[in-house]
Amino acid sequence: MSAFVNSTVFRRVSKVPPSYYLLALLLVILFVARPQMMNANVLGVFVRQVVPLGILVLGQLLVMRVKSIDLSGGGVILLINYCISSGIFPGASLGFYVALALVTGLAIGLFNGVMVAKRRVSAVIVTLALSIVLVGFVQYLSSGKPPGDVPKIFADLFNTRFIGVPSPVLFWIALTALMALLLSQTVFGRFVAAVGESMPAAHFSGVPVERTVILAHTLAGLMAAMPMITMAATMGGSVRVGLDLPILSVAATILGGVVFGRGEGGVWGPFFGVLCFAFLFVVMTMFGVGDAGKLVAQGLIILFAAIFYGLRAGK
């Protein structure tokens, strides 16, 4: 095993995030089994369904780059979904809902960041606990019943296309490009890289470690708020929506080459990791695999990606 891990072939292969290999394999399977599905309109529908996960991953990869994690995204999405679909703001404009979602996400992200960076609370515990609180709060407000329908404007946003591409997909691509620029071309991006390499070394080098972690979590909260803006038409009207997205975001991030403190996959590796889940679910459904099998597949993907990076780190 050690000989293989130290081999030239493994070193070259391991430089590429697993998401690229898995996506290529899934597309080949789809092309062979259902070639009629390999057209832009059908693929656009598949990709549009994972836009909420893709946006959430942008925040997840950011906090994982600073050796943290955020599991509160499901609660944030559920709370915003309730505010939009419950009718508690009758006659509210799209701008009001957008502002409400962004302020809610920023506030929750800021709280997570302060607790993790300043109070030294475990990121897993505080973000998971906050998600549970938010879910319980929504369950209490709704009495466990679906709140209602979302305003029509959100359906219009969801169905809009530009040059044949669904607007939610374009929005996700634009956000991904902005995140790539943020991490590669700004001082904050250099701070994130330094904190991920070594927090003590970053501190002694003058990097504001606490502020970097707080800002990373704040931006992650902002990313958690955005899926409901573009996808409320399909995600709304439920008190269970989005609860599986945080763990899927961790899986897609790891699959894309971003492990705690290490970001070799950049931003686009996790982007393709999300696409892997889009086509994985399509392929598994095509072959009659049920929800239980899909859960097993998700777990195996996380496990094998972790083993892959563990081998590479130890070689």
Rounded Cα gap, residues 36 and 20, in angstroms = 23
Residue 21 included in any domain:
yes
What string of pLDDT tens digits covers the 315 residues of the chain?
A: 555 445 565 566 667 888 999 999 999 999 999 888 888 888 888 899 899 999 999 999 999 999 999 999 999 999 998 888 888 888 889 899 999 999 999 999 999 999 999 999 999 999 999 999 999 999 898 887 666 778 888 888 888 888 888 899 999 999 999 999 999 999 999 999 999 999 999 999 999 999 999 999 999 999 999 988 877 777 656 667 778 899 899 989 988 988 877 777 789 999 999 999 999 988 998 888 888 888 888 788 778 777 776 666 655
Per-residue CA distances from 238 to 15, 100, 224, 293 (Å): 41, 19, 17, 24
Per-residue CA distances from 279 to 41, 43, 67 (Å): 14, 9, 29
Closest by CA to 224, choosing from 98, 109, 86, is: 109
What pTM does this model have? Answer: 0.92
Residue 5 included in any domain:
no
Residue 36 included in any domain:
yes
Closest by CA to 82, choosing from 182, 150, 26, 154, is: 150
Closest by CA to 84, choosing from 248, 227, 219, is: 227
Residue 270 included in any domain:
yes
Domain count, the chain: 1
Q: Rounded to 5 degrees, what angle do the CA atoms 260, 309, 220 make?
A: 25
Residue 177 included in any domain:
yes
Q: What is the pLDDT of residue 4?
A: 46
Contact 84, 154 (CB under 8 A): yes
Residue 57 dihedral angles phi and psi, to the nearest 5°: -65, -35
Percent helix, strand and coil across the chain, each to the nearest 5 = 75, 5, 25
**Can you give the residue range of the structural domain that contains 271?**
16-314
Rounded Cα gap, residues 254 and 277, in angstroms = 13
Residue 294 included in any domain:
yes
Residue 1 included in any domain:
no
SS (H, E, C) 165-225: EEHHHHHHHHHHHHHHHHHHHCHHHHHHHHHHHCHHHHHHCCCCHHHHHHHHHHHHHHHHH
Q: Which residues contact 273 (CB under 8 A, 6 or more apart)?
A: 17, 19, 57, 251, 252, 253, 254, 255, 256, 265
C-beta atoms surrounding 296 within 10 Å: 11
Q: What is the pLDDT of residue 86?
A: 85
CATH code for the domain of 291: 1.10.3470
Residue 201 included in any domain:
yes
